[in-house]
Structure 1
Amino acid sequence: MKITTIGMWGGYPEKGEATSSFLVEQDGFSLIVDCGSAVLSTLLTMKDVHELDAFLISHYHPDHIADVGVLQHAAMIHKQLGNLHHPIPIYAHAQDSVEFSKLSYKGVTTGMELEAYASYSIGPFKVSTCPTVHPVYCLAFRIEAAGKAVVFTADTEWTDALVTFSQGANVLVSESNVYPQYAGKIQGHLTGQQAGLLAEQSGVERLVLTHLPQYGDREILVAEAKKEFSGPVELAYTKQQILL
């Protein structure tokens, strides 16, 4: 399994980069986790539209879905050119029926419903879901293939459910949007220390921090995570590659 960081910012993209999104590949299959602001332009430096096999959407905040519309327009153009031969499935929850309905568009993308605490076969992957704690309904993803596993927390506050869900994963890609001084003041997100605690209690091998704030010294997030987690900790960065 190969995991490539498309973007790592929370809320909005930093200059020339993208919000939190990842490309997961196995056996020639390309699965993209979230499709927020500037994700498509960055992704297209790695893959063409007709090479994108499926998308996972954690929730419907703009920094996770902003580029779905432009993806659909790109897919429509590639269909007209004869490059796209089947709709691209976009997997997401249907708790927001209005937003879910927008995922199906003119035969070039198709919304596929995800339920909580369920597992799905998507290409070569087993994809499992777990609800998180966020102002809107949101799902974390566990993606497994060839005996390896990566967990994406998506946006969340602390929840014990993620400890069980992440248990024994090779890599935990955890949001870490909150500096220590804002703990308890910014809702719906984790501090670096909480991300580290989640990694430690889950027994994962490696922790990658994403959904990063645009302000402050982000190395503080790493230092805070290392207070709790004994394994390697790093900040996600554009086109970072992780091989499992």
Structure 2
Amino acid sequence: MELTVIGHWGAYPEKNEATSGYLIEHQGRKILLDCGSGVLSGLQNYVMLEDLDAVFITHLHADHIADMYSLEFATLILMQIGKRALPLDIYVYCQDLTKLDFCYPEYVNVHPIDLQRTVAIGELTITFAENVHDVPSCAVKVNSEDGKCLVYSGDTGYCQSIVEFSRGSDVLVLESSFYNIQKGLNNGHLTAGEAGEIAAIAQTGQLILTHLPHYGDHNQLVVEASSHYDRQIQLAYCGMKLTI
């Protein structure tokens, strides 16, 4: 299983970069976790849009969904000119799919994410868990048939759910929106120290800090996470690639 970080910024992208977007590739299958601002452009450096199998949207904040509607138009055009054969499957975690602005059901199949159901994409199985956030938000787990496991937190505050959901994962891609000094500022996001604590309790194989702030020294995030977690910690960056 291959992970490519398309975007890792919280709130808005720095120039020529992107907010949340993570490409997973395995046995010819290609899925995208979140599709934030700048992701659609960056994604095309790594995969042809007509080859994308599915997209999973963890919640409806713009930095996680901003490019989704442009991807719908891309799918429409690619199918009309014969480059893409099948509609794109889009899975969204929200309370009411009818309030979304998708316009072309013949080109995109929009599905609600059900926390109780597993989605199979080729040899990948995808499951979900509820987060703590100010809008409905879920974490995503991707398991391959060879026993590898990646967990992506989406946006979440500290909660037992994300600890249990991440337990035993090979890679945990975990939001780290705040420095420790900001603890309590927003209960829907994690500090770096909290991220490290979750990784330690869950005994994940390695930790990738993402959804990064636009200020401060990001190396301090690693220092703060490492006060709890003593395995490998990396800062996400646009274009980062990892084999799991």
Q: Same fold (TM over 0.5)?
A: yes
Q: Secondary structure at the match of 2:126?
A: strand
Deviations 1:173-213 (CA, angstroms, capped at 9, x unpaired): 00000112211013310000000000000011100000000
Superposed counterparts of 1:83-98, under 5 Å: 83-98=83-98
1:165 aligns with 2:169: no
* Superposition deviation, residue 94 in structure 1: 4.1
Q: Distance in 2 between matches of 1:223 and 1:208?
A: 13
Equivalent in the alignment of 2:174 = 174
Superposed counterparts of 1:125-204, under 5 Å: 125-145=124-144, 146-204=146-204
TM-score for both structures, normalised by structure 2: 0.96
Q: Is the 8 A contact 1:117 1:131 kept in 2?
A: no
Q: Distance in 2 between matches of 1:104 and 1:3?
A: 30
Q: Secondary structure at the match of 2:106?
A: coil
- The runs of 5 or more residues in structure 1 that have no matched partner are none
Letter in 1 for 2:217: D
Q: Secondary structure at the match of 1:40?
A: helix
Q: Secondary structure at the match of 2:16?
A: coil
Q: Secondary structure at the match of 2:151?
A: strand
Letter in 2 for 1:113: P
Q: Is the 8 A contact 1:134 1:189 kept in 2?
A: yes
Q: Is the 8 A contact 2:94 2:137 kept in 1?
A: no
Q: Distance in 2 between matches of 1:64 and 1:94?
A: 13
- The runs of 5 or more residues in structure 2 that have no matched partner are none
Q: Is the 8 A contact 1:104 1:110 kept in 2?
A: no
Letter in 1 for 2:190: L
Letter in 1 for 2:206: R
Q: Secondary structure at the match of 1:3?
A: strand
Superposed counterparts of 1:1-244, under 5 Å: 1-99=1-99, 101-103=100-102, 105-145=104-144, 146-244=146-244
Letter in 2 for 1:105: Y
* Superposition deviation, residue 97 in structure 1: 3.0
Q: Distance in 1 between matches of 2:94 and 2:159?
A: 22
* Superposition deviation, residue 102 in structure 1: 3.3
* Superposition deviation, residue 122 in structure 1: 2.2
Q: Distance in 2 between matches of 1:144 and 1:104?
A: 32
CA RMSD between the two structures? 1.2
Q: Secondary structure at the match of 1:151?
A: strand
Give the number of equivalent residue pairs: 243
Change (3 A) 1:207 1:104: farther
Change (3 A) 1:124 1:102: farther
* Superposition deviation, residue 106 in structure 1: 4.2
Q: Distance in 1 between matches of 2:220 and 2:90?
A: 35
